Amino acid sequence: MPPMEYNQQQQQRTGGGAPPTGAKDLTAILAVLICFAAVLFSVLIPSSFASTSSNFSILHQVPEGHVGVYWRGGALLKTITDPGFHWKMPLITQFEPIQVTIQTDEVRDIPCGTKGGVMISFEKIEVVNRLLKDHVYETMLNYGVQYDKTWIYDKIHHEINQFCSAHTLQQVYIDMFDQIDDKMKEAIQIDCTRYAPGVQIIGVRVTKPSIPPTIRRNFEQMEEERTKVLIAIEKQRVAEKEAETQKKMALTEAEKNAQVSKILMEQKLMEKNSAKRQQEIENEMYMAREKSLADANSYQAIKEAEANKLKLTSEYLQLKFIEAIANKSKIFFGDRVPNMIVDQRLLGNFLNRESEPVTSSDY
């Protein structure tokens, strides 16, 4: 309806009188303010802070560590935006921030039955995961915003029940508990790699499961007995180590004494050998000296004999005979003494005959 016709109808309803000028201005100002506030509200409020206004806002914010994903008429768009402020069409385009940094999902209260039929419950299992940025569109297209419910929460429930049903309580609670983390991580990652390659499982942390009190008490008693056995084994091992140490010390002491005795014996033997060698040297020196003296005496005797042989003449013998007689204070004379004294040639002839070699003709 044109404004002029509207005003005429208003005048007719009010009895043909014109509205006050002040009321007209106030109405116009209020209308303008309301329109400005609506525009400002739809533009400036980001959808990440008010989810109820995400369909109505034009400007929206993608926080750091996230990417923006958009749907138009329920169809996923290939547009992926980085952190910051972005524009979109209100009411037509829907927006969701998707985290692409490392996050930890906690899966709580997971019941499972062991191979023996005992019901246990895992209070909390933490799954550290990340959605790769290059696979955001593919993951959202196949599994939606709640992709982690399918591949983490539901998958953890399934794998824990599979593990418990294949093992006994002893294995789950004690023997293989340290392997559950790696087995869960491997099992989830294998299926994610096959069906949702954008989901990367970094680690899984499993808490100790809750078991019935009676069974837990049995395990505690078993652990106490095992601890006692380990203590006894450790004491025995310590005693064996001490005995082995004492044995090694005794062997070391014996080896040391044997080595000392060997060294002392070798030292004494060397001293004996040295003394023996010294005595041999002295004996050799004595023999050499005696031999030298004997050789000298023999040589002297030979030389004296040769000299005496040269001196042994008749004239020399006569001289010695006369000297010997002259030196005697008493002389006894026989019946032939005068002849012997007078005729000295008889003595010379006798001596010459004695010095001649004996022949067979003399007998």
Range 100-211: architecture per CATH: 2-Layer Sandwich (3.30)
64: which 2 tokens?
A: 């750091």
Residue 36: the pLDDT is 58
Mean pLDDT of residues grouped by 10 in the chain (363 residues)? 44 47 66 59 45 65 94 91 90 91 94 89 94 94 92 94 91 89 94 93 92 82 84 91 90 90 90 88 88 86 79 74 70 53 52 54 44
205 and 126 Cβ atoms separated by less than 8 Å: yes
Give the separation between CA 116 and CA 167, rounded to whole angstroms: 8
Residue 84: the pLDDT is 92
List the 66-72 sheet strands across, edge first: 75-81, 66-72, 93-99
Give the separation between CA 166 and CA 182, rounded to whole angstroms: 16
Residue 49: the pLDDT is 41
Residues 274-288 as b/e (b if ≥16 CB within 10 A, e otherwise) read eeeeeeeeeeeeeee
Cβ neighbours, 10 Å, residue 133: 15
Residue 349: the pLDDT is 57
Is the entire prediction scored with pTM above 0.85? no
Residue 139: the pLDDT is 94
Residue 342: the pLDDT is 45
265: which 2 tokens?
A: 């014996």
Give the separation between CA 339 and CA 342, rounded to whole angstroms: 5
Residue 165: the pLDDT is 92
In the chain, where the domains are located: 20-98, 100-211, 229-303, 312-355
Contacts for 30-33 with beta carbons within 8 Å, 24 or more apart? none
303: which 2 tokens?
A: 């030389």
- Comparing C-alpha atoms, which of 72, 66, 122 is closest to residue 95? 72
Residue 351: the pLDDT is 54
